């Protein structure tokens, strides 16, 4: 393990694998993973400072050091102009999700007393794969009344009120706190979110968990945070011109992060950080950042103290990156 010092280089991480009853097989095959459990893989946490689930640096001067340790040693170097979360954590968590089955109908609280940690969960999804006819649930149908929804949210009748959204690869779906949602079977995506794991399940499709028992639901807590003013999600999409350098297209923005898609050709380009910490998740192609190779699934933290980084694609296919900027 390297001696402690400011992390003035792009940081790669070892991923954390999550067994989920609703998980699938696509991610484990694509990433060629040797799973440490028998059940399906649901999530890979690629960059995390969540308590007890902190990712560890892979390679470089900080090899073997956790993101938590780096934050404790020199958060200013990591964050630059970015703000930590309300509980002092690195503010963004990046994961890949493989939905072999439908995720529960759920909701996340915002910052404040409705979250047991005080930190809420706003997130955004970047669609990587979807089975024919599959999509996501994000929002309630227009005209849904509080009285009717509260009476039916805890059983299969909830389906009558959920907005089904068609998606395809390259679509981005923004999911603010207070938005009722579910990822449907057959969807694989990359998620950028606040560093939080607070999820209130309303309905779990009457299935059993990995232990053979019904999974816990949190209907009352969920209903307390539903924002009926939020309409169904409208996916955004980045359109590129296939230039040989670096192209950037904005996807989503909120008080916690900005999200953009990058496409980098063989000539590459320079990413200016403007002093903010950036997360870079490779969602297609291959290339390199500095002297480190990039391939699908790699997630890199560019510290806010770095003014710029050089990124290169290759001659065969553009390097595609989902970029999160911690605000």
Which tokens belong to 73?
A: 């040693």
Q: Do the Cβ atoms of 40 and 1 come closer than 8 Å?
A: no
Any catalytic annotation for residue 201? yes
Cα–Cα distances (Å) from 38 to 1, 14, 28, 105, 216, in that order, read 31, 20, 12, 25, 22
Q: Do the Cβ atoms of 232 and 163 come closer than 8 Å?
A: yes
CA distance 217 to 154: 9
Q: Sheet containing 200-203: which strands, arranged edge to edge?
A: 162-166, 135-140, 181-183, 105-107, 200-203
CA distance 91 to 93: 7
List, as one string, the DSSP characters of 203-262: E-TT-B-TTSSBPP--HHHHHHH--TT------EE------SSEEEEEEEE-SSEEEEEE
The DSSP code for 102 is P
Cα–Cα distances (Å) from 143 to 79, 80, 136, 162, 278, in that order, read 42, 44, 20, 11, 39
Catalytic-role residue among 15, 68, 184, 201: 201
The catalytic residues are 201
């Amino acid at each position: 393990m390297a001696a402690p010092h400011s992390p003035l280089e792009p940081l790669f991480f070892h991923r954390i694998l999550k067994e989920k009853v609703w998980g699938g097989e696509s991610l484990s095959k694509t990433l060629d993973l040797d799973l440490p459990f028998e059940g399906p893989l649901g999530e890979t946490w690629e960059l995390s400072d969540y308590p007890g689930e902190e990712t560890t640096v892979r390679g470089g001067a900080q090899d073997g050091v956790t993101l938590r340790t780096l934050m404790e040693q020199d958060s200013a170097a990591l964050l630059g102009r970015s703000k930590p979360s309300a509980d002092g954590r690195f503010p963004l968590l990046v994961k890949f999700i493989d939905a072999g089955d439908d995720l529960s109908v759920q909701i996340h609280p915002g910052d404040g007393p409705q979250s047991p940690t005080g930190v809420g969960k706003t997130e955004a999804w970047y669609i990587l794969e979807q089975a024919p006819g599959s999509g996501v649930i994000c929002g309630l149908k227009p005209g849904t009344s509080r009285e009717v929804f509260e009476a039916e949210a805890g059983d299969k009748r909830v389906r009558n009120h959920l907005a089904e959204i068609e998606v395809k690869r390259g679509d981005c779906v923004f999911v603010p706190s207070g938005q009722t949602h579910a990822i449907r079977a057959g969807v694989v995506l990359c998620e950028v979110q606040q560093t939080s794991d607070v999820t209130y399940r309303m309905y779990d499709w009457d299935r059993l968990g990995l232990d053979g028992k019904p999974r816990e639901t949190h209907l009352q807590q969920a209903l307390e945070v539903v924002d009926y003013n939020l309409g169904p999600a409208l996916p955004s999409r980045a359109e590129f011109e296939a230039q040989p350098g670096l192209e950037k297209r904005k996807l989503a923005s909120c008080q916690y992060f900005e999200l953009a898609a990058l496409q980098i050709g063989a000539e590459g380009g320079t990413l200016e950080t403007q002093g903010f910490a950036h997360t870079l998740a490779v969602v297609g192609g291959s290339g390199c950042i500095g002297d480190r190779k990039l391939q699908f699934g790699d997630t890199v933290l560019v510290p806010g103290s770095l003014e710029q980084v050089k990124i290169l694609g290759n001659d065969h296919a553009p390097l595609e990156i989902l970029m999160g900027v911690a605000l």
